[in-house]
Chains A and B, each alone.
Chain A
């Protein structure tokens, strides 16, 4: 479950000098829920996702992610929580010196999974995203769409409880985008909470679900 109660967020050390990028956000996403995150560029979608994948802590308000109160949680408790959250970044955020295989295997290795058990899962995931023939390629050797698919495989390989995606279809063709949506819905069907930030109105229209709409850092509909 994800719960926001009057959450505000500012960036920077001189907090009082910076305006809040998110203001008074209050909403609940139940466990196993699916939400589109909508709004114009600069509305605060990425900042909201950053709060959810624990890249920042709220400046005010109460934030609960997967049962943990983030504003009060000890720092050492966060890595375990992060391993239960999968994120597909807009800019992929792949490690450039690692192969596609190693990028996808990384969350499993960080979780301490034995190497012998990793291989089958990674190969299956790469097969699913259609990159089995590119498993040794580094990100620089892959197209934008292929990098996006590696990022998606990395995000879901640990079967996260919360899956966040920031413009996940931006670099995919229609077929791949549809396959991604099927994956996200399948993950959602087996209990994963899914939040997808997008500008793709056609995709939103095809896959009807509740949405969170932001504008100027405020929630205008939930």
Chain B
């Protein structure tokens, strides 16, 4: 028997045998581009969700675990005990279970606190300012129900300002932002799936004759669906990778802008740019191509199997 030449042998079975001609039917141009756009949006949405969660946590653990106590006439004698009202209030606070720290602000700190509203030189205005005690709670969930009456008894007119109300509102805002980001992620995944389904259906229509031939030769639904799913997985994965790579510099820039809210110093962003991205995003970004590939695989499998049911 004559042996075929080396060139002819190379033509016998090209790498990635494509019996259905899907390399042309499922183009490697439009589908990866669209999936890349979806992956880019998904990265931004996920980063938004992570950012909102981080802010909510920051607020809860920071301001949520603190109180501000205002003591009018702090230098006046305390009611029914020795020392000033301020000293009495601080002592009472320090002796209260659940309070980790109680510290009276110095005059300079008080002036600094008021600078945004009254400008510099507050001390020259001769305003009757209350003494202010900054209180740190052991835990943000600590309940101090009976504190206000006891403080009132020691120093009449003392005000306890809990940050819980506006922290609660800010937390609700952060959670709604998280929910929006979650919905955006779901919508992006659904659109990506729809795009892949449309491309797959176009591929089925374009290769109908080839599919019918292969089906007639005894190919199972699984075999045909696997060919489409393999191609869609590859293209969607490539699109997801491109989208993740494109999103990285944008996320780094956004993370740099957000450093003041995340408790980092601005220098952190400039000195170690990659370090400003939360670790969960470093895990999520490589996951994007995998998620896109999984959506491509499942969508193509479902679309092709449904279509094949029309064949006997």
Chain A interface residues (CB < 8 Å from chain B): 53-57, 75-76, 78-83, 87, 93-99, 101-102, 105-107, 109-111, 115, 119, 123-124, 127, 132-133, 135-136, 154
Contact = CB atoms under 8 A, between A and B. Distances in A.
B210 interface: yes
A75 B312 contact: yes
Given A75-B312, A106-B217, A123-B1, A135 B21 contact: no
Contacts of B1: 123-124, 127, 132
Contact of A56 (B218, B219, B309, B312): B312
A97 B221 CA distance: 21
B166 interface: no
A168 to B, nearest CB: 16
B4 interface: yes
A135 B10 CA distance: 11
A140 to B, nearest CB: 13
Given A55-B312, A109-B19, A135 B217 contact: no
Contacts of B309: 75
A97 B21 contact: yes
Nearest to A84: B218
B60 to A, nearest CB: 56
A55 B216 contact: yes
Which 8 A-B pairs have CB atoms at the shortest separation, nearest pair first? Answer: A83-B218, A82-B218, A136-B11, A97-B21, A79-B220, A79-B218, A136-B8, A110-B219
Most A CB contacts (10 A, CB to CB) among B4, B18, B309 go to B4
Given A110-B214, A123-B1, 19 more contacts: A54-B216, A80-B218, A82-B216, A82-B218, A83-B217, A95-B213, A97-B210, A98-B19, A99-B11, A101-B13, A105-B13, A106-B214, A110-B219, A127-B2, A132-B1, A133-B2, A135-B8, A136-B11, A136-B12
Interface string B289-312: 000000000000000000001001
Interface string B5-17: 0001001110001
Given A95-B210, A109-B19, A115 B8 contact: no
A135 B13 CA distance: 11
Given A55-B312, A98-B19, A107 B12 contact: no
B93 to A, nearest CB: 76
Nearest to B308: A75
Nearest to B3: A123
B223 interface: yes
B8 A102 contact: no
B312 A54 contact: yes
Contacts of A82: 215-218
Contacts of B220: 76, 79
A111 B21 CA distance: 19
A106 to B, nearest CB: 6
Contacts of A57: 312
A79 B12 contact: no
Contact of A95 (B4, B19, B215, B218): B19
Contacts of A53: 216
A77 to B, nearest CB: 10
A101 B12 contact: yes
A106 B18 CA distance: 11
Nearest to A81: B218
Contacts of A135: 4, 8, 12
Contacts of B8: 135-136
B21 A93 contact: no
A102 B213 contact: no
A69 to B, nearest CB: 14
B219 A79 contact: yes
A132 B2 contact: yes
Contacts of B12: 99, 101-102, 119, 135-136
Nearest to A98: B19
A190 to B, nearest CB: 20
Contacts of B18: 97
Contacts of A94: 213
A83 B213 CA distance: 12
Contacts of A78: 312
Contacts of A115: 13
A96 B207 CA distance: 11
Contacts of A95: 19, 21, 210, 213-214
Contacts of A81: 218
A75 B311 CA distance: 9
13 contacts: A56-B312, A75-B309, A75-B312, A80-B218, A93-B213, A95-B213, A102-B13, A102-B17, A105-B13, A106-B19, A110-B218, A110-B219, A124-B1
A80 B309 CA distance: 17
Most A CB contacts (10 A, CB to CB) among B12, B24, B215, B217 go to B217
Nearest to A99: B11
Nearest to A119: B12
Contacts of B4: 132, 135-136
